[in-house]
Copies of this chain bind each other. A is one copy, B any other.
Amino acid sequence: MDDFFESTDAVRNANPLSYAREFFYSSPFKLERGGNLSEIRVVYETYGELNERRDNAVLVCHAISGDSHVASHDDADNAGWWEIMVGSGKPIDTDKYFVICPNFLGGCRGTTGPDSINPATDRRYGLDFPEITIGDIVEVDCLLIDSLGIKRLLAVIGGSLGGVVTLEWATRFPDRVISAIPLATAAHMTSQALAFDIVARNAIQSDPNYFCGRYFERGVVPASGLAIARMLGHITYLSREAMMKKFDPTRNQARKIDTSFETKFSVGSYLAYQGGKFVERFDANSYVVLTTAIDNFDLGSTAPELRKSLKPSMCRWLILSFTTDWLFPSFLSREIVDALLAMDKRVSYCDIPSECGHDGFLLPDEFEIYGEMIRSFLANVSFELSSGSAPQVERPDRIDHEQILDLIPRGAKVLDLGCGKGGLLARLRQCGACRVQGIEIKEKYVLRCIERGLDVVQADLNAGLSAFSDHQFDFVVLSKTLQTVSDVEFVLDEMLRVGVRGIVSFPNLGFLEHRRRLMEEGRAPKLELETSREWYNTSDVRFLTLADFEDFCNKKGINVHHCIAIDTKQKKQIDQNPNENADLVILVISK
């Protein structure tokens, strides 16, 4: 088969279940919405070895059409749906971790679902299968974890539906989850995403072969309804950019496939093909049951609701979204991040720049960045767990950082705005600050911070700090960043709202060498002394002297508690006439 029809479709490489194991729960199981199941079967696969302390287990949660076969077990085995992520030497390293991947309750890949035989009737459940919730899925998987003798999971990880399940684990069983990594997911669906699921279910349920879910008894399947649902799904998993790349160059070149659907246009034949393939391997009732469960999942859409739902969680978080994901758009991940930040939970976040849309977390395109983030995060969580301390010893490397360190007492809570590679935060952690959180816009720096075991959230300072409450931090630091900020007043306002004290450092245009350059040479001063940047390519967009900043503080009612002036070339602190003699100034301020 032609490359053209490739997709992230889990079952393209599906396992004939040769490595699958089965967990059987023979007691009646009460469901959240009132129904119950008299017995439950869970099909799952495992990789690697559980260590003696039983604290290296990673639970991998699949997406809607996924299954237990997350990766191959050996060279002869078929590839799994997350082959890039799970395996020896891979980010979820099976040499280190014991990986468990169950098929979900309600699915159709071995675990009890609507196509299973109902022991009460000896017929398939069909639409008699009771309504289930994401909570039920997690409860069932927890029985499995119990059966494996595991008290705490080192990590729960998953994307899309798997991300929702991860969120549920972290809040339902907070003391059993050490870290949570939800990818491309949300605490609630947008109305747009809901709408697509609704149309998909309408297509299935109005297929005349649906027979109110009893199609098995008639020996038919609602093939066109399910295929149409899957076509819709495929559109939402891809970004517009990805579709353009894949289909635009051959727009009118339909492929020949055996189908009753329209095959006009290349994208038409692709959709017809994917719709047809899905019908061969997925059960329509499972599709209805699982999409309804995710649609009903709702940790809240307002900040207070979200905080309430996420409050019980005790894990460290790594949350990743993908910029072109429009089914679970990035702002929904940010809402979760913001709620966690507001409650001082330990969270790192990155919006991975990607053209791949919702499927981004399954694809190799941006793996170099998101794969490494997951690898480092897991490694650090594992290290902290075993050693009880932060992973690295950091050495002093910037004079202004060391000065800032001196200003911050042990035990302080510190937020670093524009934290870069995390140098200051790492030093602060080492010197005894009780909680350090970074905000940084460049994803490469975010990765570096995660590698260092720091908590860092990717965000644009210019958008404000609305996640944080008033005076949430003892100190908020804006180190050599003020001069790059476009909305200075807003950023400083936010900083002084969130921090009891603010620490600002910036290059001082009043430095005599700068003055001389303009006065005598008639050239614009170059503030970035260390670099070769010129007026036309510097990232500095604000030019101010220490005196300008003091005027500003006066005008805005900002208190200046402390001012440290430095001549960075001579590496000395300046006492006399700092507006002339210092090229870098550090101020402690408050409002």
Contact = CB atoms under 8 A, between A and B. Distances in A.
Contacts of A541: 486, 541-542
Interface string A494-527: 0000000000000001100011001101111000
Q: Provide the main secondary structure of the chain A interface.
A: helix
Contact of A192 (B243, B486, B489, B524): B243
A583 B192 CA distance: 54
Interface stretch (A81-89, A175-183, A263-271, A421-429): A263-271
B262 A198 contact: yes
A534 B543 CA distance: 10
A301 B231 contact: no
A280 B240 CA distance: 33
A18 interface: no
A518 B545 contact: yes
A548 B519 contact: no
B579 A489 contact: no
A90 to B, nearest CB: 32
B535 A510 contact: no
Contacts of A201: 262
A191 interface: yes
Interface string A229-261: 001100100101001101110010000000011
A301 B271 contact: no
A465 interface: no
Contact of A522 (B301, B534, B535, B547): B547
Interface stretch (A104-112, A203-211, A339-347, A398-406): A203-211
A302 to B, nearest CB: 10
Given A518-B509, A518-B519, A535-B543, A264 B295 contact: yes
Contacts of A195: 231, 235, 243, 267-268, 271
B544 A543 contact: no
Contact of A198 (B188, B205, B260, B268): B268
Given A199-B271, A552-B536, A191 B518 contact: no
Given A240-B190, A535-B548, A198 B329 contact: no
A199 B248 CA distance: 18
Contacts of A272: 202
Interface in A135-191: 188, 190-191
Interface string A214-236: 00000000001001100110010
A262 B486 CA distance: 48
A561 to B, nearest CB: 20
A97 interface: no
A4 to B, nearest CB: 13
B518 A248 contact: no
A194 interface: yes
B326 A488 contact: no
B206 A224 contact: yes
A543 B545 contact: no
B191 A203 contact: no
Contact of A329 (B190, B240, B515): B240
Given A203-B228, A262-B202, A329-B240, A547 B518 contact: no
12 contacts: A191-B266, A192-B240, A192-B243, A194-B251, A194-B265, A194-B268, A198-B265, A515-B522, A518-B519, A521-B547, A524-B543, A524-B545
- Kindly list the 3 A-B residue pairs having the minimum CB-CB distance in the complex, ordered from nearest: A541-B541, A488-B536, A191-B247
